[in-house]
């Protein structure tokens, strides 16, 4: 079942998720519905608070696919390829974090906005998987970025909170006053900004 995804500034996104005691059939069903919801919105990760459930559960699938929907591992790092996906992650805890990386992030709860966010490059995360077993995940690349983004949701934190104060308040004010831009217009605007950036980088002739 596809669930409703809450968007900023919904106060439920700010609630801290609580740890689950056991992986019950109800929680397994919720994880399944969250995966369905994530795929339906073309997302790569979804946290339970985004669907109004204040628990420590995230689902992730960062594998890129070709036009026929086949998994394309070409853009994945060796560590990422070694992690079975989709991932169902209960009660995640970071055991180790190293290095820094910047990635242009977006969020299903802040649709149409994309900004560079600074995160750890490599993480080791301990968690309980969908079958209730203890597991450890060691990764870098997009998967590491995604895990950190989703874990933020469990603490009521959004990627727009991690930007500079100026950028963060500009985006929040814009959404609070005018709502979200039309997705089609936002896509065009983003493409235009990218082309302008490429033009600027071209050497002047």
Residues noted as catalytic = 150
> Among residues 90 and 113, whose Cβ is nearest to Zn ion?
113
> Which two structure tokens, joined as six digits, stand for 180?
């979200």
Peptide bond into 106 cis (omega under 30): no
User: Are 20 and 52 a contacting pair, CB within 8 Å?
Assistant: no
Q: Shortest approach of Zn ion to residue 36 CB, angstroms?
A: 17
Q: Which is nearer to Zn ion, 30 or 145 (CB)?
A: 145
CB of residue 84 to Zn ion, shortest distance in Å? 22
Site mask for Zn ion (CB under 5 A), range 56-95, x = bound: ----------------------------------------
- Identify which of residues 60 and 107 has a Cβ nearer to Zn ion in the complex: 107
Give the range of 19-27, 65-73, 100-108, 166-174 binding Zn ion by CB under 5 A: 100-108
Judged by CB under 5 A, which of 34, 87, 107, 143 binds Zn ion? 107
CA 149 to chain centre: 5
Contact string 110-129 vs Zn ion (x = CB under 5 A)? --------------------
44 near Zn ion, rule: CB under 5 A: no
* Residue whose CB is less far from Zn ion, 19 or 161: 161
Number of residues located near Zn ion, criterion CB under 5 A? 1
CB of 105 to Zn ion, least distance (A): 8
Applying CB under 5 A, the span of 93-101, 106-114, 124-132, 169-177 interacting with Zn ion comes to: 106-114
Q: Alpha-carbon distance 38 to 4, whole Å?
A: 10
Q: What residues make contact with Zn ion under the rule CB under 5 A? A: 107
């Amino acid at each position: 079942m596809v669930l409703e995804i809450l968007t900023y500034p919904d106060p439920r996104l700010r609630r801290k998720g609580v740890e689950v005691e056991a992986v019950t059939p109800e929680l397994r069903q919720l994880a399944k519905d969250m995966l369905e919801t994530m795929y339906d919105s073309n997302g790569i990760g979804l946290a339970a608070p985004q669907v109004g459930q204040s628990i420590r559960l995230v689902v992730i699938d960062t594998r890129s696919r070709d036009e026929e929907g086949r998994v394309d591992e070409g853009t994945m790092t060796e560590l990422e390829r070694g992690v079975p996906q989709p991932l169902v992650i209960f009660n995640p805890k970071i055991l180790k974090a190293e290095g820094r990386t910047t990635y242009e992030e977006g969020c299903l709860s802040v649709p149409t906005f994309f900004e560079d966010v600074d995160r750890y490059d490599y993480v080791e995360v301990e968690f309980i998987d969908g079958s209730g077993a203890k597991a450890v995940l060691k990764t870098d690349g997009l998967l590491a970025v995604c895990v950190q983004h989703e874990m933020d949701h469990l603490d009521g934190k959004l990627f727009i909170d991690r930007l500079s104060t100026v950028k963060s308040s500009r985006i929040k004010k814009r959404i609070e006053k005018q709502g979200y831009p039309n997705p089609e217009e936002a896509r065009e605007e983003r493409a235009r900004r990218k082309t302008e950036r490429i033009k600027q980088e071209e050497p002047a002739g």
